[in-house]
Chain A
Amino acid sequence: MNVLLIFFFALRLVIAPAPDDAAKARQGVFALTNARIVTVTNGTLENATLVIRNDRIVALGTDVAIPADAEVIDCAGLTIYPGLIDSGTQLGLIEVGSLPETSDASEIGDLTPQMQALTAVNPNGMAIPVTRVNGVTTVLTEPSGGLLPGTAALINLHGYTPEQMHVGAVEVVKLQFPRTGRRGRFDRRSEEDVKKAVEEAMKKLDDTWNQATLYARIDSSYRANPEKDRRPEYVPAMIALLPVLRGERPLMITVDASADIEAALKWVKKHNIPNVIFTGLSEGWRVADQLAEAGIPCLVGPVLSTPTRDSDRYDKAYANVGLMHQAGVKVAIRTGETENVRNLPYHAGFAAAYGLGKEEALRAVTIVPAEIFGVSDQIGSLEVGKKATLFVADGDPFETRTDIHHLFIDGYKLPLESRHTQLYEEFLHRVPGLEKTSEQVGERP
């Protein structure tokens, strides 16, 4: 018996887990010691320890015992942050922007709230590792095109199936509110055409909502009496809106121009939508007081964009988030990006530099979006009991010269590799260099 035990332990030593830079993700018990810990919700600790067991943070503090089975990672000189959350992207839905075969963000039709972004996400998208190595661990990925383009989902940037990536079963139905703003400089429509398009879209929206309200009533009546009532007809768009009307699922409304924001506020009130989030809000600063009064949480961005009007001060797009926050609006920051979601910390950095401040900017990409999406019990800050979704950096993550040393998503320690780092390693000093160059070819016409 003893011989067997000794043999067993000896075997374990031989087949021990590989050191830090193994190419595979691994879960287990980790103790991050001597670290500066930015909890976001409970201040900053110095010379502290954070213990991860499986997918959770099980201990955090300056006086924490290191478990015997823990892999110890010395974080002297380093800082631990919660994983950053981008509350508006199309990451995982589009691989190469100009190739429609690789784009799954948009479906035919104006009223398609039933289209699910989650299941269309490609977990093996090249941009996913590229993004997480810069500390962005969680994103909302959203469909686009049309009035009701579909249902967005909150995903972690790790997992082999969309289900593994899905965070807290968070799904939000997106509404692209009819917009009066010009869609870029290529939009050459006349003022009348824009006005007409908006009127038609508003009518369509109101009609749809009235139908959805009726459908919800029919459905409720059926559920109360499934034996006696007839099951309502299969109308997928209506079925997808049921949880929104019942307040079980948020309606996320994309609005940017100030006139549109005001119209959207009126519309939300008129139809008594129970659970609303606004997103975009490039002119949010113009109507910040109204937004604060309505108490609707706002996903604002991209910060790195041009002011909407030529007469605006040059820094308006950077200052937007800060101005809204000052007026009392609950703000999270989004990039609206697909392949460069990794720049979220810099959107936050610019927002910080132009009025929001560093502390609030960090909150706007951690705890605030977590609260808005209803998953603040799981992510968004470093607290005992929350998921171990975090990164360890050698400085301020909003500064470009900061490097990330360790990354965990749901307690899985992930290699800090991506297509970009692999190309760097291969080509920094290419082998062969010039030495294998052959002779010149003959004259060409």
Chain B
Amino acid sequence: MKTGFHSLLLSPALLLLASTFAVSVQAQEVERGDVLIQHATVLTVTNGTLNDTDILVQDGKIARIGQGLRAPNGVETLDATGMYVMPGIIDAHSHIAISNVNESTSPVTAHVSVGDVLDPYDIALYRALAGGVTISHVMHGSANVIGGQNETIKHRYGVKDPALLPMDGAPRTIKFALGENPTRVHGRGSNIVPASRMGVEFVIRQAFSEAQRYQEAWDRYEARRQNDARAIPPEYNERLEVIAAILKGEILINCHSYRADEILMLLDVLRDFGVERITFQHVNEGFKIAPELAAFGAGASVFADWWAYKFEVYYSTAYNAAILTRNGVVTSINSDSQELDRHLYHEAAKTQKYGDLSDDEALALITINPARQLGIADRVGSIEMGKDADLAIFNAHPLSVYAVAQKTIVDGVVRFDVQADPDDMRLEVDPETPVETAFLWEGHDDRCMEGTDLLGFFTGQ
């Protein structure tokens, strides 16, 4: 190392380089916390209800569950006397925290992903936390038969780096859509297939068949490459790569669907192509084919009581979730709405009116069942030792309409505290906005078809 003038120049530059490297490494770290929750009524969901029980959280994981636990050095205690702790709520169908919902320019857009447009500033993340939600499966919209890929995110509200939202290790998922939405956007809107449910089936079969041929071409190339270094690879196609991954079982299908016949259609198609796992979304007529869904092992993620807003949901019943549950289908209740996701505990409670589900059965619809559907049940969805410390604390049993969430914990970090909410919880405020605009409630706040109204603008129709 040269001393003198040159080292004077080098060392600050090296320091600068070193510090930027250190900052970027820190930016990838997810915050994890420690806390000892004491004297709570613990609703484990999978192992019954435990009275006057403590939960020790260390480094973002549930370390111990028991009575009379002691806090290790430096770990804060949280007195939950008279309160109920349940696993953090998992919303299996959401469109919050993404700046766009639909790439509606084609019926098959498997190559796009909402993971590319995550928005950590969305206040909806915080408001859902205030209703006990810790994980949302944020999805592409329902404009396309095969839509874009989704993202399973944790409500780490407060982070400004979108890369810190996705739950690491969560399986990849993709959005499909059947019925009125894709036929309206593409058939009736742009005059391209599909305009009917016949076309919807064909679009899927065509995409799967093309992906199969694509995979076969690449397999042949890989085989040939063993012996011939000059073998020419087939043309790379991201869209077909993704669909081929679906066929290999590497990406879980989540399919927006309503009518019994179209759900049966997709089950047949999946059987033909050897795809074994699927979760249907909305599936308002699922109750009509509950035996078939159970036999296939398909999951269903439904509304508590939305119906009649479109013709395909006219023949619905609020007893859907109960009928599916009683027939052995893994069922979850989702929101598809940044209004509903604030009270999913209340939506789940409706199954006690419509079908007499027990407390644990109702709570499972918003915890362990969506976790199973999303492939993350080993990490979350119940209060068990070793699982992530995603917890929601209420001042009354969460299935009561009078329950108010007190604290919501993600990875052991308190991300919502009813006593530390001074009104404006926005992460960023534009100093040039004089007065905030009031957004009036227009009902049915779902973003499933957002972005499709711009199609006419782009295509000049």
Interface residues of A (CB under 8 A from B): 95-99, 126-127, 134, 179-186, 191, 256-259, 282-283, 302, 304-315, 317, 336-340, 342-343, 346, 349-350, 352-354, 398-403, 419-421, 423-424, 427-428, 430, 433-434, 437, 440, 443-445
Contacts and interface: CB of A to CB of B under 8 A. Distances in A.
Nearest to A354: B404
Contact of A306 (B287, B309, B352, B441): B441
A353 B342 CA distance: 14
Contact of B292 (A398, A421, A434): A434
B309 A96 contact: yes
B272 interface: yes
A256 B272 CA distance: 54
Given A314-B421, A340-B306, A256 B440 contact: yes
A353 B402 contact: yes
A431 B443 CA distance: 38
Interface string B315-355: 11111001100100000000000110011001001101111
A350 B445 CA distance: 19
Given A182-B437, A313-B421, A346-B346, A424 B305 contact: no
Nearest to A310: B123
Contacts of A440: 271
Contacts of A314: 126-127, 130, 342, 421, 425
A258 B440 CA distance: 11
A304 B339 contact: yes
A433 B440 contact: no
Contacts of B168: none
Contact of B401 (A182, A186, A398, A430): A398
A434 B307 contact: no
A346 B401 contact: yes
Interface of B: 123, 126-127, 130, 180, 205, 209, 271-272, 287-288, 290-292, 295, 305-311, 314-319, 322-323, 326, 338-339, 342-343, 346, 349-350, 352-355, 399-404, 421, 423-426, 429, 436-445, 447, 450, 453
Complex A-B, nearest 6 residue pairs according to Cβ-Cβ distance, in ascending order: A349-B401, A424-B319, A305-B441, A423-B317, A181-B438, A97-B309
Contacts of B319: 420-421, 423-424, 428
8 contacts: A96-B309, A98-B180, A98-B311, A282-B438, A282-B440, A305-B441, A350-B346, A424-B355
Contacts of B295: 434
Contacts of A352: 401-402
Contacts of B342: 306, 314
A311 B426 contact: yes
A257 B440 contact: yes
Contacts of A445: 205, 209
B338 A306 contact: yes
Contacts of B311: 96, 98-99
A256 B444 CA distance: 17
Contacts of A350: 343, 346, 401
A445 B273 CA distance: 12
Contacts of A306: 127, 338-339, 342, 439, 441, 445
Contacts of A428: 319, 322-323, 326
B308 A444 contact: no
A200 B357 CA distance: 54
A182 B338 contact: no
A420 B287 CA distance: 11
Contact of A423 (B287, B424, B450): B287
B438 A283 contact: yes
Given A185-B439, A314-B342, A402 B130 contact: no
B436 A309 contact: yes
A145 B426 CA distance: 33
Given A346-B346, A399-B400, A400-B349, A309 B438 contact: yes
Given A185-B450, A424-B354, 5 more contacts: A180-B438, A257-B440, A304-B343, A306-B127, A346-B401
Among A127, A337, A420, A443, the most chain B Cβ lie within 10 Å of the Cβ of A420
B111 to A, nearest CB: 24
B440 A183 contact: yes
Contacts of B180: 98
Nearest to A315: B130
B43 to A, nearest CB: 15
Contact of B317 (A97, A399, A419): A419
Given A400-B399, A428-B326, A183 B423 contact: no
Contacts of B429: 311
Contacts of B404: 353-354
B308 A96 contact: yes
A45 to B, nearest CB: 24
Contact of A399 (B123, B314, B401, B440): B401
